[in-house]
Structure 1
């Protein structure tokens, strides 16, 4: 991992600055929306705009890169992000904010494609897994650092918006000045959603529902905090705990998932999250309880995303894994778009703590569907399952495809080691 860090430190530094800027915008907008007197329902439309833009960007960015190249796309999109952050402060109106959130989501999707392409180009087959791990850590550390910076100034002024803009502008330098020549851009033609659903119904349904959970964490957490009357330090600490939990439990759950029927782990993790939220109900008004809940939600949701992808790969040929990445990303994006809208409506009618009710409902639906799917077909042998590869939902199609290719390479390596052993057979029926 030190070799990867030495070889790609400038790219990772630029990515860190981008993630701090991106992590700041959601928190600061939620705080500023409360100052401006906007309701949770109004802010839900604003926050949903980012996920609409990100989904559009995942489709448009590859086309733009093929047309004008990595460097021009990165410079143009990053400039638009920097300008949009300043417009937030200059024109504090929900319609303007929603339009800027859509633009920022679209641009960040393209920026991630470029940075991930360069990072992947610098990695070798031997270091690709380490590069993915570092990439995940940098993303989480960036978002957590953003929450600390949100305490440096008043969200009612300009300073935090200027800091966001400056951070993104500075991120240009280490990425553009140190990046290797732009790699040849190519992505695999995505598998159709119907094919993907037939291969793994649980994978598709869980990915969609997890999109709503992530939208609640990344988009509506600051809105909940202001609606619940939390102070700015409490709001930022609350948001940080989602990602601290994800960092703490990502790799332990991944290790376990490679050694058991993943459906039981999906079921157990989601049931644990639901029970934890139910048990916290009598103490929900205490800030310490909210921090514990955020840790549990983040610690369950972030690894679940990677776990569901690994489970989906269990029912795909290794050559189909990369093709499945586009479909999974699209399904997750659809769930993320709807998440803020439902949470905003629920908070408007049932109060701020409906925020946890919605997330608990999504976890419960995943658990119920996992239990149902366990009755429909047997699990594959643990020895035949795909390798767990950690990845966050903020990743672009490039990182998704790299993770899928890495899992496919690991699967082929395992096959090369075991194909000469005649007595080991899979009892999983042919598809």
Structure 2
């Protein structure tokens, strides 16, 4: 692990600053929008627009990189991100924020693709699993740090928009000045959605549902807390609790999934998340209650993303895993686009606590479907290893994880063959 950190510190530092900038703008808009008189429906469109742009970027950015190269794409998209962060408080109109969120979602997707390509190219095969773990920790730590910075400024002014713009601009220096050479770029053609669904119905349905859960957490949690009348620091604390749960419970749940039927772990985590969300809906909305509910909900929801990927891989040949990753990301993106809009409708119907209603419905649906799938197909004879991947990772990180899993499987097969020869 230390060798990975030393060898890739510039990339990890750059990614940390990127995540701080992105985490600040996501929560800050949820606070600033209502102060500008934006309705819940308008805010849901603003939040959904980011995921629409991110989905488009994940499909188009690889082709842009192949045409003009990593450095040009990175520099161009980076300049747009910095500009958009400054434009938010300058044009406080819902339609403008929707367009800016589409643009910034597209740009962040392209920047992540580029940075993850460099990261993947900077490590050896035996270090790739550790690098992915560090990458996930860096992402979550960056978002948590962003919430702490939000409490230091005034959401009605410009400074909280300037800070993430500066941080994002600073993040490019360690990445572009790194001694790591520009990597070759190639992605696998995605598997057809029909074939992917046939291989793993639970993986496909679960990824769609988790897209909605993740986008509601990332996009609408701050809107919900603001409607309750919480201060900026309280909103940031609530959002931070969600990501802290996702960071701290990722590996314990992953450890369980490598030792038991993954569908049982998926069903259990989704059930706990759904019940906690129901309690969030029915309980008195104090800050302590929200932080506890947010911590558990985040701790159940974020690992489910990687769990569903691992479950899908359990039913695929190793050579098909990378092709499946593109389809899973696309399905998750569709759910993410719909999530904030439906959450906004639920808040309009049930009041602010409609946020928890939406999360509870999706998590309980996933738990029920996982239980149903257990009656339709036997568990696989062998399980692949769980790799911690966050919902904000792009197809490059997904492909790197799949490559590492395939390498681990090949090494295990070689060990088994050597053991058989020795026994003979």
Given that 2:281 and 2:354 are in contact with CA atoms closer than 8 Å, whether structure 1 keeps it comes out as no
Q: 2:221 matched to which residue of 1?
A: 221
Q: 1:320 matched to which residue of 2?
A: 320
Q: 2:412 matched to which residue of 1?
A: 414
1:130 corresponds to 2:130: yes
Q: 2:401 matched to which residue of 1?
A: 403
| 1:416 Cα deviation after fit | 2.5
Given that 2:155 and 2:232 are in contact with CA atoms closer than 8 Å, whether structure 1 keeps it comes out as no
Q: 1:427 matched to which residue of 2?
A: none
Alignment of 1:12-411 (within 5 A): 12-381=12-381, 384-411=382-409
Query: For the structure 1 residues 355 and 179, does the alpha-carbon distance in structure 2 shift closer, same or farther, using more than 3 Å as the test?
Result: farther
| 1:278 Cα deviation after fit | 3.1
Given that 2:254 and 2:307 are in contact with CA atoms closer than 8 Å, whether structure 1 keeps it comes out as yes
Say which SS state the counterpart of residue 219 (structure 1) adopts: helix
Given that 1:39 and 1:348 are in contact with CA atoms closer than 8 Å, whether structure 2 keeps it comes out as no
Q: 1:425 matched to which residue of 2?
A: none
Please say which of residues 136-145 and 341-350 is displaced more in the overlay. 341-350
Q: TM-score, normalised by structure 2?
A: 0.97
Q: TM-score, normalised by structure 1?
A: 0.96
| 1:413 Cα deviation after fit | 2.1
Cα RMSD, aligned residues only: 1.2
Say which SS state the counterpart of residue 230 (structure 2) adopts: coil
Given that 2:242 and 2:294 are in contact with CA atoms closer than 8 Å, whether structure 1 keeps it comes out as yes
| 1:144 Cα deviation after fit | 0.4
| 1:296 Cα deviation after fit | 0.7
| 1:421 Cα deviation after fit | 7.4
Query: For the structure 1 residues 326 and 274, does the alpha-carbon distance in structure 2 shift closer, same or farther, using more than 3 Å as the test?
Result: same
Q: How many residues align?
A: 420
| 1:420 Cα deviation after fit | 6.9
| 1:417 Cα deviation after fit | 2.6
Paired with 1:163 and 1:136, the residues of 2 have a C-alpha distance of 23
| 1:284 Cα deviation after fit | 3.2
Given that 2:113 and 2:394 are in contact with CA atoms closer than 8 Å, whether structure 1 keeps it comes out as yes
| 1:349 Cα deviation after fit | 2.1
Residue by residue over 1:30-54, the C-alpha shift from the partner in whole angstroms, topping out at 9 and shown as x without a partner, is 1111111111111000010000000
Say which SS state the counterpart of residue 126 (structure 2) adopts: coil
| 1:283 Cα deviation after fit | 2.7
Residue by residue over 1:139-164, the C-alpha shift from the partner in whole angstroms, topping out at 9 and shown as x without a partner, is 00000000011112111111111111
| 1:271 Cα deviation after fit | 1.0
Say which SS state the counterpart of residue 149 (structure 1) adopts: helix
Paired with 1:279 and 1:225, the residues of 2 have a C-alpha distance of 16
Paired with 2:206 and 2:281, the residues of 1 have a C-alpha distance of 25
Unmatched tracts of structure 1, length 5 or more: 423-431
Paired with 2:281 and 2:305, the residues of 1 have a C-alpha distance of 26
Given that 2:278 and 2:357 are in contact with CA atoms closer than 8 Å, whether structure 1 keeps it comes out as no
Paired with 1:279 and 1:227, the residues of 2 have a C-alpha distance of 19
| 1:274 Cα deviation after fit | 1.8
Paired with 1:341 and 1:361, the residues of 2 have a C-alpha distance of 15
| 1:280 Cα deviation after fit | 4.6
